[in-house]
Amino acid sequence: MYAEITNAYAEIANAYAEITNAYAEIANAYAEIANAYAEIANAYAEITNAYAEIANAYAEIANAYAEIANAYAEIAGSKSPSQNVIANCELL
């Protein structure tokens, strides 16, 4: 009789061990999902940084065009029309 009770307790302990293992597997699955979301977030951050770099490049290009326009404006304001033609050709 004591052997049957002991076996029953052993079976209950085994059942709890299986339940505990199942919860551990579930926790691991959630950890993997969280890691996947973290990787996705990092990818979006890299994409955002790339767009920022592209925007900065366009800003630099716009500034360069502004400098060219200012140079043409300075030439136009300081020389006669025939001198402007010569100066514009020199800029090219």
The model's pTM is 0.60
Q: Output the six-digit token pair for 40.
A: 């996705």
Q: Could you tell me the residue range of the domain that residue 67 belongs to?
A: 2-91
Q: pLDDT tens for residues 60-91?
A: 999 999 999 888 888 777 666 666 666 667 65
How many CA within 13 A on the CB side of residue 48?
6
pLDDT digits (tens, 9 = 90+) for 23-50: 999 999 999 999 999 999 999 999 999 9
19, two tokens: 């339940």
d(CA 87, CA 42): 51
- Encode 25-62 in three state secondary structure: HHHHHHHHHHHHHHHHHHHHHHHHHHHHHHHHHHHHHH
Q: How far is CA 43 from the centre of its chain?
A: 4
Question: What are 2-17's pLDDT values in tens digits?
Answer: 889 999 999 999 999 9
Output Rg (C-alpha) for the chain, integer angstroms: 37
How many domains is the chain built from?
1
